[in-house]
């Protein structure tokens, strides 16, 4: 199994600012992903964080808005840029592959409120 931690657990931000969320896995995983869960809704995949190369974004999500880094097999960051109230969501990271095989484990999420 894998334990995934995220920092911060929650934050309240002003519109127009940016927030970087960190995701740390206690095992080496092949794949890392970032999801968004808007209030009262299900999870939507934002992007796949690729080690050593640019992230792969899903339809409707762009790098300028959600830049992602993945410097190694256990760590990734997601930045929410130029925030607006519509970005208020829970952001979750997950990891799979490698030492944890085909099961995808999730972090506890970062609850973001944009005023």
Partner 1 sequence: AQSVTQLDSHVSVSEGTPVLLRCNYSSSYSPSLFWYVQHPNKGLQLLLKYTSAATLVKGINGFEAEFKKSETSFHLTKPSAHMSDAAEYFCVVSRDTGFQKLVFGTGTRLLVSP
For partner 1, which is the closer residue by CB, 8 or 16? 8
Shortest Cβ distance from residue 87 to partner 1 (Å)?
19
For partner 1, which is the closer residue by CB, 15 or 63? 63
User: 67-77 as b/e, with b when 16 or more CB fall inside 10 Å?
Assistant: bbebeebbbbb
Residues found near partner 1 in the complex (CB under 8 A): 4, 31, 33, 41-45, 48, 92, 94, 96-97, 102-109
What gap in Å lies between CA 39 and CA 20, rounded to an integer? 20
H helix intervals, the chain: none
For partner 1, which is the closer residue by CB, 67 or 98? 98
């Amino acid at each position: 199994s894998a334990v995934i931690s995220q920092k911060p657990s929650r934050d309240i931000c002003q519109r127009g600012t940016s927030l970087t969320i960190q995701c740390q896995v206690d095992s080496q995983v092949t794949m890392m992903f970032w999801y968004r869960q808007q209030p009262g809704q299900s999870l939507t995949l934002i992007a796949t964080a690729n080690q050593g190369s640019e992230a792969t974004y899903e339809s409707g999500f762009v790098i300028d808005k959600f830049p992602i880094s993945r410097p190694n097999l256990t760590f990734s960051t997601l930045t929410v840029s130029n925030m607006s109230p519509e970005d208020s969501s829970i952001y979750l990271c997950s990891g799979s592959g490698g030492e944890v095989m085909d099961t995808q484990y999730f972090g506890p999420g970062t609850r973001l409120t944009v005023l």
